[in-house]
Amino acid sequence: MAITSKMHHDGVRVVTMDYPPVNALPVEGWFAISNALNEAGADPGTRAVVLRAEGRGFNAGVDIKEMQATAGFGAILGANRGCYLAFKSIYECAVPVIAAVNGFCLGGGVGLAGSADTIIASDDAYFGVPEVDRGALGAATHLSRLVPAHLLRTMYYTSRTITAQRLAELGSVVEVVAVDRLDDAAFALADEIASKDTRVVRAAKEALNCIDPIDVVKSYRFEQGFTFELNLGGVADELRDGFVTTEPSVDR
């Protein structure tokens, strides 16, 4: 189980998540993603990053079992801080980040993909934020970068999911490909970006972040305040206990 980062070729770095069975990341995993993206952006030899996952899904969010097995608030504090830093590091990475999404992309997974510059997805990919079912809030900031406002609210209140194909129709997923072509498609786009003058691309990344209509980093941090309230009120523990008891594999 690990987050790995290595130069793939010609300035294209690949960061891979591998936490079987569903890539629900423990606290350490979120911090590891942040560290990997910070290092990638600081490396002058990195021109683009592909964020991908091993296994049957891109990311199932935080490891709720770890959270419920940890006494006190240490795990929730760690997960909240780790998610915040992971999303921030992707969004603020000095070079473009391409999310290559396969299978399910849920909760914190939407935070990761929604923080990226570009999303390429496999034809079995679907996205959703089941936070309401878990007694938490968060990643609405990132879901709002994928879907229109009223659809966002419906998805958030109901924990419904949306397919990669529908997101492609909405313009937030740039390409949908067969599962066995996902890596190739992601690296092809990364190669196209890496072929440009990295000084200009890095300046473009900073400029585009500065003209975003909302401050993505501060917006997500504001959301987290409500998660803390739900935890202190005992609501989150009650719903997470129910989740651990039923143990669904993934939401659909």
Residue scoring higher pLDDT (70 or 35):
35
Q: Is the pLDDT of residue 185 over 90?
A: yes
Residue 92 in tokens? 């603020």
Task: Average the pLDDT over 44-67 and give the result.
Answer: 94
Specify if 187 maps to a domain. no
The arithmetic mean of pLDDT across residues 111-137, rounded, is 95
Measure the CA–CA gap between 215 and 234, rounded to whole angstroms: 30
For residue 114, the domain's CATH number is 3.90.226.10
Percent with pLDDT over 70 in the chain: 98
> How far is 204 from 83, CA to CA, in rounded Å?
25
What is the mean pLDDT of the segment spanning 141-167?
Answer: 98
For residue 17, what pLDDT is reported?
A: 98
> Hey, which residues does 15 pair with through a beta bridge?
5, 51
Tell me what the pLDDT averaged over the chain comes to. Answer: 94
pTM for the full predicted model? 0.94
| 252 found inside a domain | no
**Which pLDDT tens digit goes with each residue over 1-20?**
799 999 999 999 999 999 99
- Number of compact structural domains in the chain: 1
For residues 82 and 28, give the distance between their C-alpha atoms in angstroms, rounded to a whole number: 8
Over range 65-73, report the average pLDDT: 79
The answer to whether residue 248 scores a pLDDT higher than 70 is no
Of 190, 161, 194, 160, the closest CA to residue 175 belongs to: 190
Residue 200 has pLDDT above 70, yes or no: yes
Query: Is 251 within the bounds of a domain?
Result: no
The arithmetic mean of pLDDT across residues 107-126, rounded, is 98
What 40-46 contacts at long range (C-beta under 8 Å, 24+ apart), as own/partner pairs, is 40/5, 40/13, 40/15, 40/93, 40/95, 41/89, 41/92, 41/93, 41/94, 41/95, 42/94, 43/13, 44/198, 45/7, 45/11, 46/7, 46/11, 46/12, 46/13, 46/95
Residue-level pLDDT at 228? 82
In a domain, residue 96? The reply is yes
Q: Is 123 or 63 the better-scoring residue by pLDDT?
A: 123
Cα 95 to Cα 43: distance, rounded to the nearest angstrom: 10
CA separation for the pair 168, 99 (Å, rounded): 14
For 85-105, letters b (16+ CB in 10 Å) and e give: bbbbbbbbbbbbbbbbbbbbb
Q: For residues 179 and 123, is the Cβ–Cβ distance under 8 A?
A: yes
Quote the pLDDT of residue 227: 85
Give the separation between CA 73 and CA 7, rounded to whole angstroms. 37
What is the predicted pLDDT for the residue at 249? 62
- On whether residue 192 sits in a domain, the answer given is no
Domain that holds residue 217: 2-180+198-246
Task: State how far the alpha carbon of 199 is from the alpha carbons of 10, 88, 230, in Å.
Answer: 15, 21, 44
Residue 83 included in any domain: yes
Residues 191, 57, 97, CA angle at the centre, nearest 5°? 30
pLDDT digits over 142-153, tens only?
A: 999 999 999 999
Could you tell me if residue 208 is inside a domain?
yes
Question: Two tokens at 140?
Answer: 């609405």
